[in-house]
Amino acid sequence: MNAVKTGLTGRTVLLPTDDALIYRQHLDRHFSELSPATDRGKIYLTYKKDFTNLALQERRLTNHRKTHLAELQQFKQERIEKEKLEALTSRTNC
């Protein structure tokens, strides 16, 4: 009976308590919005290659940023450790 309660593993899309008209309207809205007949769909299809290239560049820049931040953190930690060592050394020499 769990499949009937949640509708997640059932063979039907709608449960007996669901409103079929509202579901149909929901589907119609999404199909009309996402079909290539709308401006959004036409723009995506026209500039798909450009969007893919932009996504690739964004991913590369994000990776570079992560790498550079990690290096910066490492340099910062090394500087802190060096300053601590110099402070200890200067105390022992006094």
Q: Locate all alpha helices (DSSP H) within the chain, ordered by sequence.
A: 2-6, 20-34, 39-46, 48-93
User: What is the rounded CA–CA span in Å between residue 62 and residue 80?
Assistant: 27
**pTM (2 decimals)?**
0.48
What is the count of structural domains for the chain? 1
State the residue range of the domain holding 85.
Answer: 31-94
What letter does residue 8 receive in the DSSP assignment?
S
Whether residue 84 is contained in a domain is answered as yes
At what angle are helices 48-93 and 39-46 packed, to 10 degrees? 70
Higher pLDDT: 60 or 39? It is: 60
Q: Dihedral sign, CA of 23, 24, 29, 35?
A: positive
pLDDT bin (cut points 50, 70, 90) of residue 11 is: low
d(CA 17, CA 60): 48
Which is more confident, 87 or 11? 87
Asked whether residue 74 is assigned to any structural domain, the reply reads yes
Torsion of CA 38, 43, 44, 50, to 10 degrees: 180
Which region, left, alpha or beta, applies to residue 15 given φ > 0 means left and ψ of -120 to 50 means alpha? beta
Q: Is residue 54 part of a domain?
A: yes
